[in-house]
Structure 1
Amino acid sequence: MKHLPKHLQPRWRYLAVAIESWPDTELDRKEFQRQLWYSAQNLLGDTGSSELDLSVVRFSYEGGDGEALVRTRRGEQSRARAAIACLDSVEDTPVGVRITGVGGTIRACEEKYMGRGREDPEQRQVTFGDADRGVVRGSRIDVPTATAFTGATNLDCE
């Protein structure tokens, strides 16, 4: 099968997505991709979601923080951003997603928005009221309770 000429090949844009959830959750790429498709389909319908052609190219998640690189067609970035913003849970686990930037190549997007080569953020333990221990990630503190986690900030602990 012959390749398409360059002027007929699809053009792509890459969206860097920051993912945040509770520290004890585990997310995988396959389920994140499925929920992303459902989100686009619910927002834009079948034809609209197929025009976006959303695909997760890179995915990493560990300890409550993660990153994903999502590919979409050129010219569809604003609708892709809306579909990603509608994503609120993966495998019945609440997640927060934030688009950190858009790039024209995978490499540029990784280096500019995903922090390729960046050091891992420092984690430390704090006590919060009568809770056992909380996990500090930047300015966020996750305090375990009997059934879930409670989110706090540095101001709440002072």
Structure 2
Amino acid sequence: MKHLPKHLRPRWRYVAIGIETWPDASVGRRAFQRALWYAAGNLIGDAGSADADLTLLDFRHEDGVGEAVVKVRHGHVDEARAVIACVSEVDDRPVGIHVRGISGTVRACEERYMGRAGDSSTQRDVAFQGAERPAVVRGDAYDVRVESGYVGAAAFDIE
């Protein structure tokens, strides 16, 4: 079978995504892809979702911080950004997602936007709500462990 001429081949854009979760949450590649497809189906419908063809190419997540590359058809970048913004949880675990950038090639996407998953996290005890509690510190963000799970805090919230 012959290849299509270059002017008839589909063109793609690559969206770099930053992912944040609570430190104890584990998010898998399949679960993230499923959440993307589910959000696309709900927002732009089955036909629009199939046309945009959001496909997860690269995915990494550990210690509450991750990143991903999503392949999208050329004319559907705005729809893809909206779909990505609609993903608020993966496997019933809350996630924060932001688009780092969009590129025309996978290589440019990885060079410009990937590898900046964040500073390394450290475990330490902090004074929060009048008690000493364990916390995961990433830059100026603190994820403080309380009885019901984690609470996000900033430096001025810590005593």
Using the size of structure 2 for normalisation, the TM-score is 0.93
Residue 151 of structure 1: aligned partner: 152
For 1:151, what is the secondary structure of its paired residue? strand
Q: How does 1:61-80 map to 2 (within 5 A)?
A: 61-80=61-80
Are 2:125 and 2:132, in contact at CA under 8 Å, matched by a contact in 1?
no
Q: Deviations over 1:63-94 (max 9, x none)?
A: 00000100000021111000100001000000
Q: Give the superposition deviation at 1:16.
A: 0.3
Q: Give the superposition deviation at 1:126.
A: 3.6
- RMSD of aligned residue pairs (Cα, Å): 1.5
For 1:133, what is the secondary structure of its paired residue? strand
Higher strand share: 2
Q: Deviations over 1:70-127 (max 9, x none)?
A: 0000021111000100001000000010001000011101111113xx5961323241
Are 2:65 and 2:117, in contact at CA under 8 Å, matched by a contact in 1?
no
Are 1:22 and 1:142, in contact at CA under 8 Å, matched by a contact in 2?
yes
Aligned partners of 1:154, 1:110: CA distance in 2, in Å? 31
Q: How does 1:1-158 map to 2 (within 5 A)?
A: 1-115=1-115, 121-124=119-122, 125-129=124-128, 130-158=131-159
Q: Give the superposition deviation at 1:132.
A: 2.9
For 2:75, what is the secondary structure of its paired residue? coil
Are 2:65 and 2:118, in contact at CA under 8 Å, matched by a contact in 1?
no
Percentage of matched positions with identical amino acids? 49
Are 2:145 and 2:151, in contact at CA under 8 Å, matched by a contact in 1?
yes
Using the size of structure 1 for normalisation, the TM-score is 0.93
Alignment: residue pair count = 156
Structure 2 unaligned regions, length at least 5:
none
Aligned partners of 1:34, 1:21: CA distance in 2, in Å? 17
- Name the amino acid aligned to 2:151: T
Aligned partners of 2:117, 2:24: CA distance in 1, in Å? 21
Aligned partners of 1:140, 1:120: CA distance in 2, in Å? 11
